[in-house]
Amino acid sequence: MTSLNQYGWSTHFEQYFHSYQAQGLEAGRVTAIEGFRHKLITANGTADAMLSGALMNSADNWDLPKVGDWVAFKSYDSEGIIISVLPRLNELSRKLPGRTTEKQVIATNIDTAFIVQGLDRDFNPMRLQRYIVQIMQCNIRPVVLLNKQDLVPDPESYRQEVMALGYGCLVLLLSATGQAGLQQWASEQLLPGNTYVLIGSSGVGKSTLVNALLGYHLQEEGAVSSFNHKGRHTTVSRNLVMLPSGAMLIDSPGMREFGVTLEADDKGMHYHPLLAALSAGCRFHDCTHQHEPGCAVVAAVREGTLPPEVYESYLKISREQAHYQTDSIERKRVERQFGKMAKQVAHYRKQRKY
Ligand SMILES: Nc1nc2c(ncn2[C@@H]2O[C@H](COP(=O)(O)OP(=O)(O)OP(=O)(O)O)[C@@H](O)[C@H]2O)c(=O)[nH]1
Ligand SMILES: [Mg+2]
Ligand SMILES: [Zn+2]
């Protein structure tokens, strides 16, 4: 299994794979999904695999293989069959856009998520904070990449603005079309055997960054991109690529919305070090930091020690979460009931053999 280590294989996956190995299955990592076809990297090179019937029928979408997953598959001549997804180290997810409260898994088994914003017109500290909070709650390290620094006169001022928010994550300036910052990012942040994902709005330069590091144009191979109405290549599916350095990078289609999905009762306070510390000093332990007397958070905003953008983002996210959390609890209840019903039906079917 040593050759799989370069793709991120570890003892974590090894322990779950043992029983599958005994059944003659192989391990592979999902690099792309096209319809039902899954592209895998394995100890013996690349392979194509479909889902087993059981996986296709029984599983919740959440449990189906995603880019970044390790799977156990049965290898045949031209095509494999995926039998199981090995338990994930983590899942980068978001709330699906719109009124739904469903979560979507973007990619799995990630070491660092790079949030990309373009300094030309995409720069938006409020949106950036949603990304940071959601990535942190997925137990993934966020790093901010401010791209297209060649297009603004004073890029450092944008970096300072993000740093001043106080989340404590790394903020890097670079340009995908030039050398400035690119090589430094690659050599200092992209380590061999680690897996990274690029996320952000459409047009911020995610694919250009990947292409620059690959040294050739992945998108020109077709399959993963299409032209949008502006005649520009826009990424349409997720794709994990191995860089010459040995680091793995997942490119993803641009996202218009990045919905936060905090667990019940999580108000999103502890993702900001100062906010977390301040809230401990409020008079009421269940302070919502809006109208209560003796609120240390409101006092800090008034005194100018907590940036108003951070407070505003907190309010916005916590209000949305109140809605998300009640809705998702209700949805889970309905799903459980439906699951019970489906089991009963299957049971009757077996008895009556129809
Ligand atoms: N000037 C400048 N242009 C850039 C830079 N990075 C990317 N671009 C341009 O921005 C445009 C969009 O880049 P893409 O890499 O396709 O953006 P993307 O984030 O992959 O977009 P989606 O796939 O739609 O999500 C292209 O025309 C790039 O050439 C940069 O650092 N400087
Ligand atoms: Mg792209
Ligand atoms: Zn308070």
Question: How far apart, in whole angstroms, are the C-alpha atoms of residue 160 and residue 304?
Answer: 17
CA 158 / ligand 3 centre spacing (Å): 29
**In CATH terms, is domain 273-347 a member of 2.40.128.50?**
no
pLDDT on residue 221 = 46
Q: So what's the pLDDT on residue 352?
A: 58
Place of tokens 């949008």: 228
Nearest to 70 by CA among 23, 2, 8: 8
Indicate whether residue 210 lines ligand 1 (CB < 6 A). Answer: no
305, containing H or E segment: none
- Report pLDDT for 289: 95
> If you measure from the C-alpha of residue 293 to the centroid of ligand 3, how many angstroms do you get, rounded to a whole number?
8
Main-chain dihedrals φ then ψ at residue 6, nearest 5 degrees: -65, -20
Q: Copy the structure tokens of residue 182.
A: 């690119």
Beta bridge partners of 45: 42
Q: Is 327 helix (H, G, I), strand (E, B) or coil?
A: helix
Dig out the tokens for 172 from the structure: 């890097």
Instruction: Determine the Cα–Cα distance for residues 252 and 125; give it in Å rounded to an integer.
Output: 21
Domain ranges of the chain: 2-85, 91-251, 273-347
* Secondary-structure class of domain 2-85 per CATH: mainly beta
Q: Which atom of ligand 1 is nearest to the CA of 236?
A: 23
Query: For a pocket test of ligand 1, which of 121, 199, 208, 220 has the largest count of ligand atoms closer than 8 A to its C-beta?
Result: 208
Determine how many CB atoms are found less than 10 A away from the CB of residue 180.
13
Instruction: Show Cβ contacts of residue 53 under 8 Å, excluding neighbours closer than 6 positions.
Output: none
Q: Assess if CATH 3.40.50.300 describes domain 91-251.
A: yes
Contact yes or no for 249/31 (Cβ under 8 A): no
Report yes or no: 84 and 63 within 8 Å, Cβ to Cβ. no
Would the CB of 237 count as within 6 Å of ligand 1? no
Atom of ligand 1 nearest to the CA of 225: 23
Residues near 338 by beta carbon (within 8 Å), at least 6 away in sequence: none
Q: Which residue in 1, 77, 85, 4 sits closest to 38, CA to CA?
A: 85
CA distances from 76 to 47, 88, 184 (A): 10, 25, 43
pLDDT tens per residue, the chain (354 residues)? Answer: 558 999 999 999 999 999 999 999 999 999 999 988 999 999 989 999 999 988 888 767 888 999 999 999 999 877 899 999 999 999 999 988 877 778 899 999 999 999 999 999 899 999 999 999 999 999 999 999 999 999 999 999 999 999 999 999 999 999 999 887 999 999 999 999 999 999 999 999 999 999 999 986 555 444 455 665 666 788 988 999 999 999 999 999 999 888 898 887 787 888 999 999 999 999 999 999 999 999 999 999 999 999 999 999 999 998 888 777 777 777 677 666 666 666 666 666 566 544
Residue 155 CB–ligand 1 contact under 6 Å: no
Which numbered ligand comes closest to the C-alpha of 202?
1
Nearest CA to 32 among 255, 256, 253, 258?
A: 253
- Whether the CB of 253 sits within 6 Å of ligand 1: yes
Contacts of 80 (CB under 8 A, 6+ apart): 26, 28, 40, 47, 48, 49, 50, 73, 74
52 lines ligand 1 (CB under 6 A): no
Q: Ligand 1: does its nearest atom lie under 6 Å from the Cβ of 120?
A: no
- Helix axis angle, 155-164 to 125-137, nearest 10°: 50
